[in-house]
Amino acid sequence: MPLHNQGMNQLDALKQFTTVVADTGDFRQIEAYQPTDATTNPSLILKAVQKAEYQSLLRDTVAQFRGRALDEITDRLLVRFGCEILSIIPGRVSTEVDARLSFDTQATVTRAERIIELYQAQNIHIDRVLIKIAATWEGIQAAAVLERKGIHTNLTLLFSFCQAVACGQARVQLISPFVGRIYDWHKKAAGAAWVEADNAGANDPGVKSVTQIFNYYKKFGVATEVMGASFRSVGQITALAGCDLLTISPELLAQLAHTTADLPCALSAQRAQALNLHHVAYDEPSFRFALNQDAMATEKLAEGIRAFSADAVKLDQLQLAA
């Protein structure tokens, strides 16, 4: 049922039933849109530290901890950005574990614990930080360990239903299914046969994926929060209004803030309860097979890890040059 904005812009309307999260490492942009939470990743931090206004953060951190291991300096830089962001927002910040550890459960746990210790040293409460981890089998198992220790996690690079189910089984705090990258893959795969109008709104393949996950979680009482991510258009965002959280780039936040059209609530836990869905569970072999059977998810997960790893290397190089 539509929510009548009565002159309210779509960003403010969206905030009435979805937690809005800023997807950026540029904390000066965050202030303008007053989101509850914020997410970062290696690519966003890399982009930020190359801006003139943030280069001093990089130089100061490297100078202060020169001689320490490069991975420690990286974590200190990430936490420095996270603390700046937390001084602006009322909620949580997501800070990512190095994507090069995506297939090493123990190394991911160790790195996550250090990130949390660095935040705690800055008097940041553990509940204000989400450790972001790629949703590989190993990453999901690391998240399960961390959650049992009271360290909350955000499982990212999530493209498939089996990843979401496994995250729910691991009792992770939050997942970030990637709407735009799913859309990108299907559009590319379809080629000349792609008809944009037929794949918009609720029919967008990325929107359909998040909707399936949201409905499953609500139907079966999975406590894990669903945060749609990686948006290509305002239409993808509005088609998921009502999702637990949506993490949105500053550019799309600006578009929402300048639009006053009515915003219907597309997803609801109440409607999900009425659906006829089947409960499923995965162990490692069945998870790996299900992921393997999903060409899109297999390709986008691998591609995402490669891209984040490449940006982690570039961030290392910037630190060595600082």
Residues labelled as active-site residues: 132
Cα gap 158→182, rounded to integer Å: 10
Which residue(s) pair with 19 in the sheet? 245
Q: What's at 217, amino acid-wise?
A: Y
> In which region does residue 228 sit, left (phi positive, over 0), alpha (psi from -120 to 50) or beta (all else)?
beta
Whole-number Å distance between alpha carbons of 308 and 30: 22
C-alpha to C-alpha distance for 73 and 70, rounded to whole angstroms:
5
Query: Taking a C-beta distance cutoff of 8 angstroms, is the pair 125, 161 a contact?
Result: no
Q: Which parts of the chain fold into alpha helices (H)? A: 10-14, 27-33, 42-49, 55-64, 70-86, 105-121, 137-148, 161-169, 179-190, 205-219, 234-238, 250-257, 269-273, 284-293, 295-321
